[in-house]
Every structure is written in structure tokens, then in C-alpha cells.
Chain A
Amino acid sequence: MTATATTTRPARSGGALTGHLGDTLALAGRHLTHLRRSPGRLILVTMNPLVMLIAVGYLFRNSMQVPGHVAYEDFIMAGIAIQVGLTSVGPTAIGVALDLRHGLVDRFRSLPISPASVLVGRTLSDLFVGAVSLTAVSLAGLAVGWRPHEGALRTAAGFAVLLAFVYVMLWVGILLGTTQKNVEAIDGTGALVLVVFSFLSNAYVSVGGLPGWLRPVAEWNPVTSVITTCRRLWGNDPAGAAGTGFPAQHPGTVTAITLTALLVVAVLGSVRGFRRAVGR
């Protein structure tokens, strides 16, 4: 080969792990640049919960009934915040599907990098988007009267749970994007996930207010456990809002188990879907 090949290209240095990390960060950087050029994703992911906050927390506040002695602003905040995660599913899935369709992934795959870097890089940048919109939503919540009552540490712990939820939802989005080719179908599925998982939970009403046959579904909905965990960490939980079953008594445990299980399934499915989509 030409002599330049050896002079311009440095040897691959460092361990495999730092190498993967560098690849992942470079790919995450790509998505952050996208965000700067076309901030639509950030706006969408932030606007959706904000609109719900205004609609539910302000317009409907007098028609909603909350058990116990908790202000409605306090009650709905956790339910609004999980929307950041649910809203992320669609855009992440579409981003992955478009990369696959436009041959960019082929290019990445023809490089000596790990396929996981491509997917993890995207989740990192999308997690950043999630964090930004969580911040915006919390500030808006504070403005309309939401207050955590359990001190800084437990407040922060609540946000950590929310970020974990967002991250798991991003992998659900990637699973959707690597297994579904049709972008319109992905868009519809994302919207359905948002509606079904937020309304079939205790986000806006207490589980006790749902029809009897739906109560177990809402109690076991992982979103309900996440919301209850946050409410308890923030001192925003009225008694009985999570229902009466096992998940209501141990929301932290149920959250940890369901999110871990969902993450494992989504990651394995995504890697498999990704390999298949490229190998087509």
C-alpha cells in the first residue's frame, strides 16, 4: 500500500473499552449536533408534558378529585414528568429507522466499530434531551405550584428514577425502530404507547377511580410504580392513589424489577433487530 497509510493513520491505541467509549461518545456527539441544527425533537419532547401540565393541572384542576390531603399540583407532577419518557419512544424509533433506511448504518457497520456503540451513542444523546426537558417540566411545575416536601436528597432520587425510566423508554424506542421498517407505523405506535401507558396508570387520577376490571392493569402498569415511587420520594403521594395490591405497597421494588426486565428485553431485541436490518 501507499506509504501515507502508515504515516497519517495512528495506530489504534488504548484498551478496547476506552475505544468503545470514544466511538460511543463520537456518535452521541453526532446526535447533539443534530439537536443544535434541528431542535424539533427537544421541543416535541418538552412541549408534550408542558401541554399536559397546563391542560390537566390548570384547566381541569377543579374537576379532578384526589384522595387524601395532597394539592393537585403536587399529585400530577410525577405523572407529567413520566411523559418525558413516554414521548421519547416515537422520535428515537424514527431516528433509528431513518438511519437504517438511508444507509448511514451500513457505513457505520462497515467500520471496525461495535454495533452497540451506534445504538448506545443514540441513547446517550437522547438521554441528554430527556434531562433537559425534565428540567424544563420541573421548572414549569414549580411555577404552577408543585413542591417536593422531603428534602433535596429524596427530590434528587425521584429525578434519578425518572431518568432511569426515560433511558429504558429510549431502548423501547430503539427496539421499535430496528424491528419496524415503516416510519408512519412507528409514529402511530409511539403515540399509542404514550396514550395507553399514561392514561392506564395513576398519572392523573387515583387507581381507585378507575373501573374495577381495569384496576389491576393500572396497578401493575410499570408507569404507575414509577409515578408512585416518585410521589413518595417527593412527599406528593395521597394514600390509596396507587391502588391496594402488591405494586402499591412496594413501588420501588416493582419499579426496579420491571424497568430492569424491560431494559434487558429491549436491548437484546434491539441488537438482534439491528443485525437483521443490516443483514437484509
Chain B
Amino acid sequence: MSSSDIAILAEGLGKTYRSHTALHGIDLSVPAGTVLGVLGPNGAGKTTTVRILATLVQPSAGRATVAGHDVVRDSREVRRRIGLAGQYAAVDELLTGRENIVLLARLLRFGRRGAARRATELLERFELTEAADRPVGTYSGGMRRRLDLATCVIGEPEVLFLDEPTTGLDPTSRAVLWDIVRDLVAGGVTILLTTQYLEEADELADRIAVIDAGRVIAEGTPQSLKRQVGSEFLEVTVARPENLGDAVAALSGLGGRPPAVDEGARRVSVQLGPDGLDEVARAALALREKGVPLADFELRRPTLDDVFFDLTGTGRKEETQ
């Protein structure tokens, strides 16, 4: 297939369970060879979306095609072209790493010898050769995830679904996994990954869809989403908690919104307006006049966290709408 194709297309996907509606019409479009990050809080509908696209769940409304085939009518054809890594590493603990890969390779009809060869290849590529013949029960969380991912790519899928691939991993394992994902993308695989970590979406995704309560509430490149949130933030950390009030007074009136206070971190932050530099100067002057001792005074570009809070209203309820 050519790179201009759309590898994943969802139109108005809805899913209603007996007691509640999980999805209210999800639209997604992922060009082949790119990464879409699906971002959202717990219960937003990320996993349901992935399960529908991976043919495990039937949608109640709408339609979807993956790798050119309809997920409901041509589910078998879809399954031959996808890989799915669910939220829990779906590996068999009593089997060794090698046996896990060989089993799935045989189910993908590699044949006995082909399966053995593929297992050796993948164990090498995912840095599991040393642990290959130990039962998976003895693996660390990071190794399990790597094996899980290795089993997903046995059949060289065109499209990979990764549902929260790094949840619960330490930073080193996470970085290793990110490298693997980048490698796969470089090899032409299309990836849809869900995550709660904004940093992860920022690192890996070409485009991001933010899902909340079963709806896509924003979609775009990480840059455009950050731009949507707007200008930079001024963050002031005071030396002592009793200075917080003075700092708030010094920063109020800057930008369009009242400053946000994080008491635990002794930090006051405010989003600057269009004439940012003037406002920084005014803030510095006001703080010095009040004699507030500072631990830190910094300008911060908006992160995806800000995008997320801005869109889902978590923590800043009164400002949404």
C-alpha cells in the first residue's frame, strides 16, 4: 500500500453497553506510516476504541476500516494485518520468552521451522536473547512489555495498536520501549497508541486525539495543540509558604486569567498575554517591591499537560466551555 493511504479510519464509532454509553461517535483518521496518540483520562473510551478497531468488540454505531478492511465485515482480513498490545502484557508466564513467540508464530502459520527462526530474530531485536529460555514469570515488567511487543510484530503487521504500552514501567524501560516504537514506525508501521502520559504522546505521536467521555474533544499535531493553549506561563516559586499571598498579588492582573496556586510546591503560575515580556518585567518589579524571597522564577512553554487540563477541564472546571 502507498504511504498516502489512510491506515485507520473511524467514522462516528459508538458503543453502548446495557447500562451506559462508552463512545459517542468517535472520528479518527490515521495516515499510513504515522503515529496517532490517543490521550485521555481513565474511562474516557480509549480502550473501547482500540478494542473495536482491533475487531474484539463490535461497535453499536458507525464504521471503521483498518488496513483497508472493514472491522466488522472483514474482521479476519483485519486480524491478519494488525498487532494488538493490550493494557496488560498478554504473555504466558509459564512459557519461556521463546515459547511465547513460537506459539503465536505457529498460530500465524509460520510453520515449525519458520516459527523458530522468527523467534530467534525477534528475541535478538527486542534484546531478550539472554532471557529467552527462562519462564516469563521471572521477567521484569520492562522485559514482559518488550516480549509483548515482540509477539505483536511477529506477522509484520501493517497497523499496531498499543493500549497504554508503558503504564507502570520505570523511566529506563519506558525509554527503551519508545526506541522500539520509533524503530517500528521507521519500518513503515502505522501505530495507534493510547496513553495517559502527555510526555509519551509528545515524544512519539505525529498527531494527537484527545478523548474525554467517549468523544474526541481535540485533534492535531502536538505543536498545534500546544499553540491552541496559547502563550507561555510565568512560574514563580517562593522560598517560604507565607510569601505565597504576596506572590499571588504581584502576579494577578497579568495575562487574562487569575494566577493558579500550587501550595505544596509553593508555586504561583500565570499564563502571560500577548505582550509577554512587559508582563515579566512588571511581575519582577512587583515581587521586588514586596520583598518576596524567591526560589525560582521561570518562563515555561505550554506542555501537553496544559492542553489536557484545558480541554478536559480537570482541575480548572470554571474555565472550560
Contact = CB atoms under 8 A, between A and B. Distances in A.
Interface stretch (B38-46, B83-91, B212-220, B298-306): B83-91
- In this complex, the member of B83, B92, B99, B155 whose beta carbon has the largest number of chain A beta carbons within 10 angstroms is B92
Interface stretch (B102-110, B235-243, B284-292): B102-110
Contacts of B155: 9
Nearest to B95: A33
A4 B118 CA distance: 12
A133 B230 CA distance: 71
A191 interface: no
A270 B135 CA distance: 30
Interface string A137-157: 000000000000000000000
Interface stretch (A22-30, A215-223, A236-244): A22-30
Contacts of A107: 84, 86, 90, 104, 151
Nearest to B154: A9
Contacts of B117: 8
A106 B94 CA distance: 18
A112 B158 contact: no
Interface string A115-128: 00000000000000
Contact of A279 (B58, B106, B158): B58
A106 B55 CA distance: 10
Contact of A111 (B92, B107, B121): B107
Contacts of B111: 10
B233 to A, nearest CB: 40
A117 to B, nearest CB: 8
Contacts of A272: none
A55 interface: no
Contacts of A13: 109
A10 B118 CA distance: 12
A109 B94 CA distance: 20
Given A26-B103, A112-B80, A10 B90 contact: no
A108 to B, nearest CB: 7
A106 B106 CA distance: 17
A199 B110 CA distance: 49
A185 B54 CA distance: 31
Contacts of A113: 107
B82 interface: yes
Given A1-B188, A8-B118, A33-B99, A111 B104 contact: yes
A33 B117 CA distance: 20
Nearest to B188: A2
A10 B110 contact: yes
B265 interface: no
B249 interface: no
A184 to B, nearest CB: 20
A173 B86 CA distance: 26
Given A9-B156, A30-B103, A110 B55 contact: yes
Contacts of A29: 103
A22 B106 contact: yes
Contacts of B175: none
B79 interface: yes
Contacts of B94: 33-34, 37-38
Contact of B107 (A9, A23, A33, A102): A23
B46 to A, nearest CB: 15
A5 interface: yes
- In this complex, the member of B76, B90, B103, B107 whose beta carbon has the largest number of chain A beta carbons within 10 angstroms is B107
A65 B107 CA distance: 55
B21 to A, nearest CB: 15
Contacts of A103: 86-90
Interface of A: 1-2, 4-5, 8-10, 12-13, 19, 22-23, 26-27, 29-30, 33-34, 37-38, 102-104, 106-113, 278-280
Interface of B: 1, 51, 54-58, 76, 79-80, 82-84, 86-92, 94-95, 99, 103-104, 106-111, 114, 117-118, 121, 135, 151, 155-156, 158, 187-188
**Which 3 A-B residue pairings sit nearest by Cβ, starting from the closest?**
A103-B90, A107-B90, A5-B156
25 contacts: A1-B156, A2-B188, A8-B114, A8-B117, A9-B110, A9-B114, A10-B111, A10-B114, A13-B109, A19-B109, A27-B103, A27-B107, A30-B92, A30-B95, A30-B99, A34-B94, A103-B86, A106-B84, A106-B86, A106-B90, A108-B107, A110-B54, A110-B79, A110-B83, A278-B56
Given A104-B91, A110-B55, 10 more contacts: A1-B188, A19-B109, A23-B106, A26-B103, A102-B90, A104-B92, A111-B107, A112-B76, A112-B79, A278-B56
